[in-house]
Amino acid sequence: MMTDVMEQSGSPTRRESEQPVPNGTEPTVSAPEAVDNAVPVEARTGTEEPAAAARIVQIRERIDEIDNAMIALWQERAALSQEVGATRMASGGTRLVLSRERKILERFRVALGADGTQLALLLLRAGRGPL
């Protein structure tokens, strides 16, 4: 089973399936599809019905696309937030602007409910670190 492990800093560590490449290029990661094709369709989708299995595979492909976009956006947001904090502190400002954090928490709470608040707290932490 291939799993990602996150370091405490939030940076992904090497996947079990990644192999170091001696010439210094990026490691290769085995394609999930190649691994999945070795597993019977019922085990992958939870159904033997071909049309339902095909639809599940199609939906999961879109979910994976969304997940990849969310990861990229998370990383971009964290980097921008860190830059804001560094710029503010370098100019003699405070480490945090609590009124800004409250607005972000409220925006996520209104849009997503209690889970939105938790998501916003994680986003804030990724950008500024723990309090």
Q: Does 14 fall in a domain?
A: no
- Give the whole-angstrom CA distance, residue 41 versus residue 22: 36
Give a yes or no: residue 87 inside a domain. yes
Q: 64-83, pLDDT tens digit by residue?
A: 999 999 999 999 999 999 99
Question: Does residue 90 sit within a domain?
Answer: yes
Helix extents (H) in 46-131: 50-90, 98-112, 114-128
Both tokens of 58, joined, read: 């199609």
Domain count, the chain: 1
- Token look-up 């089973």 returns 1
- Is 57 part of any domain? yes
Residue 31 lies in a domain: no
For 3-20, what is each residue's pLDDT tens digit? Answer: 343 333 344 433 333 344
35 in a domain, yes or no? no
In a domain, 123, yes or no: yes
Domain containing 94: what range? 47-128
| Spatial separation of the C-alpha atoms in residues 3 and 10, rounded to whole Å | 15
Give me the pLDDT at residue 20, please. Answer: 40
pLDDT tens profile 95-122: 999 999 999 999 999 999 999 999 999 9
pLDDT tens figures, 14-59 = 333 334 444 444 444 445 555 567 788 788 899 999 999 999 999 9
Residue 5 placed within a domain: no
Report yes or no: 56 and 99 within 8 Å, Cβ to Cβ: no
* CATH number of 65's domain: 1.20.59.10
